Amino acid sequence: ATVKWREENGVNAILDRPYETFELLKRIFPAYIPGRDLSNNIVVVQRPGMINYDLGHKNNVTGDDMLMHYVYICEYCWNILEPGPPDGVMTTVMDLKNIDFSTLKDKEQMYFLKKFVKMMSDHYPQRSYKTLIINAPTWANMVYKMVKPLLRESTKKKITILNGGKKQDDLLIQILGRDAVPKELLEDPKSIGDREDSDGAMSKIEEDLRSFCKDQLERHGVVMQQIVEL
């Protein structure tokens, strides 16, 4: 099924094609690579509660466009950052900040979230080391029960759901490391002392990813698409 999915969506050649909507999708869907965890696995942060659907509508971006944007990030991880062998694995932090009860009633958001979770479970299952779902609202267990049947057994075992607070901060620091955990994910950034670094979305890996994308555009004689602001 994965081989067919990769063929139908042109995944094998996704890094070779010019990706002129890269900056636009970065603005719409906050998903980024801040660095590596203490086990030296790539860390990817997803913040679905901060997806700018209005900007997406203004620029004719679809849910499938957002899915393929995330695929682009994954393929960069496994073809450029860590081509192997052996196959690398990643620690995923899914931040549910700003996800509230109204999200359950929003068909567009729920459709995207379900499709996103299923895609990752179906096509990148062996690439997961841990998945930390942070800032989960108290009713998140109900949503998890909805998507749980879509997940493989191996995927379920790697998921930890956290509801904020010191326990969440402690686990993030324990897994990602005091020097590497993105400050913006901590409820108490002072707990890691005075670090000079900026937002995890501005990491060295993110700079390299952006440069890689721009180089591909230049190679194909294509320019980055202008963003139509709200």
> What pLDDT, in 10s, does the model give residues 49-71?
999 999 999 999 999 999 999 99
Average pLDDT estimate for 163-185: 93
Please tell me which residue, 33 or 121, carries the higher pLDDT value: 33
Burial of 4-20, coded b for 16+ CB within 10 Å and e otherwise, reads: eebeeeebeebeeebbb
**Cα–Cα distance between 83 and 221 in angstroms, integer?**
27
Hey, how many other C-beta atoms are within 10 angstroms of the C-beta on 201? 16
Contacts 24+ apart (CB under 8 A), 120-127: 121/150, 121/151, 121/152, 121/155, 122/1, 122/2, 122/5, 123/2, 123/5, 123/6, 124/74, 125/152, 125/154, 125/155, 126/87, 126/89, 126/154, 127/74, 127/78, 127/87, 127/88, 127/89, 127/90
pLDDT digits (tens, 9 = 90+) for 207-223: 999 999 999 999 999 99
Q: Residue 38 class from Cβ within 10 Å (0-12 exposed, 13-18 middle, 19+ buried)? A: middle
198 pLDDT higher than 80: no
Average confidence (pLDDT) over 175-189: 91
Q: What is the pTM of this model?
A: 0.90
Determine what percent of the chain is predicted with pLDDT higher than 90: 63
Exposure string for 142-157, b = 16+ CB within 10 A, e = fewer: ebbeeeeeebeeebee
Query: Over 80: is that where the pLDDT of 141 sits?
Result: no
Q: Which residue has the higher pLDDT, 181 or 197?
A: 181
- When the pLDDT of each residue in the chain is averaged and rounded to a whole number, the result is 90
In the structure encoding, which two tokens stand for residue 95, read together? 């931040």
Query: Which pLDDT value is given to residue 35?
Result: 94
Confidence band for 128, pLDDT divided at 50, 70 and 90 = confident
pLDDT at residue number 77: 95
User: Cβ distance 209 to 73 under 8 Å?
Assistant: yes
State whether the Cα torsion 74-79-82-86 is positive or negative: positive
